C-alpha cells in the first residue's frame, strides 16, 4: 500500500519522505507561487490557475492572494465562494466548502495531525481527516479549523476561533475552543439597515 493510499484510508502515513507526495506538493506549491505573483487585475489568469489547482471549482469564486495549499486536488469549493487574503489550506484530506461560503483573512484549514508518540512523530508520520463546511457559512478573520471538523450550513464562526469539534447548522459559534453561543434568529435578519 502506498503512503497516499494509507492517508486516504485514515491510517498513519509518511508525508515527509514519500516521493509521490513530495512531487504532488511541489507541483501545487508551484501553482500557488504563480498565483500569488500575478497582478490582482489578471482575473482570467488567476481563475485558470485556481481551476487547475483545486479538485473542484464552480463558475463564481474569488480567492484573494496570497493563497497556499499542500495538494490542491483535495479542495472543493461551491458556487459563490469567497476567500480573503492569506488563507492556508493543508489538504492532505478533503476540504469541501458548500455554496455561498465567505472566509475572512488569515484563516487556516488543517486536515493533518501528528502522533502523540514522539518516535512516530519523529519518523515523519501523520494522519489526516477531512474538513467539511456547509452552505451559507461565514468564517471570521483569523479562524483555525482542524482535522475532522464539520461546520453546518447557515452558521457564523466568530473571528479568532479555533474550531476543534463539529458545529451545527444555523448558529453563531466562537472562541478557543469554538463553541455555540446561540442560534441565528429571525431578528438577526433585520439587525443591519438596508438602503
Active site residues: 114
Could you tell me if 69 and 83 are in contact, meaning their C-beta atoms sit under 8 angstroms apart?
A: no
Cell triple for residue 130? Answer: 477531512
Cβ count near 122 (within 10 Å): 10
How far is it between the farthest Cα atoms of the chain?
61
- Which string of b and e fits 3-27 if b means at least 16 CB within 10 Å? bbebbbeeebbebeebeebeebbee
Q: What share of the chain is helix, strand, coil (3-state, %, to 5)?
A: 25, 30, 50
Q: What is the side-by-side order of every strand in the sheet holding 144-146?
A: 67-69, 87-90, 108-110, 144-146, 162-163
The Cα–Cα gap between 76 and 81 comes to 10
Amino acid at each position: 500500500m502506498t503512503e497516499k493510499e494509507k492517508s486516504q484510508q485514515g491510517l498513519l502515513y509518511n508525508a515527509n519522505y514519500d516521493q509521490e507526495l513530495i512531487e504532488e506538493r511541489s507541483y501545487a506549491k508551484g501553482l500557488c507561487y504563480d498565483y500569488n505573483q500575478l497582478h490582482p487585475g489578471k482575473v482570467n489568469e488567476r481563475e485558470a490557475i485556481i481551476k487547475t489547482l483545486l479538485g473542484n471549482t464552480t463558475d463564481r469564486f474569488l480567492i484573494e492572494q496570497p493563497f497556499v495549499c499542500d495538494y490542491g486536488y483535495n479542495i472543493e469549493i461551491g458556487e459563490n465562494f469567497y476567500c480573503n487574503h492569506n488563507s492556508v489550506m493543508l489538504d492532505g484530506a478533503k476540504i469541501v466548502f458548500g455554496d455561498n461560503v465567505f472566509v475572512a483573512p488569515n484563516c487556516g484549514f488543517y486536515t493533518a495531525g501528528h502522533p502523540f508518540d514522539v518516535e512516530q512523530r519523529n519518523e515523519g508520520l501523520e494522519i489526516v481527516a477531512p474538513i467539511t463546511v456547509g452552505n451559507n457559512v461565514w468564517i471570521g478573520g483569523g479562524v483555525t479549523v482542524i482535522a475532522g471538523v464539520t461546520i453546518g450550513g447557515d452558521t457564523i464562526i466568530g473571528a479568532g476561533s479555533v474550531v476543534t469539534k463539529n458545529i451545527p447548522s444555523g448558529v453563531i459559534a466562537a472562541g478557543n475552543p469554538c463553541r455555540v453561543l446561540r442560534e441565528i434568529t429571525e431578528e438577526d435578519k433585520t439587525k443591519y439597515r438596508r438602503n
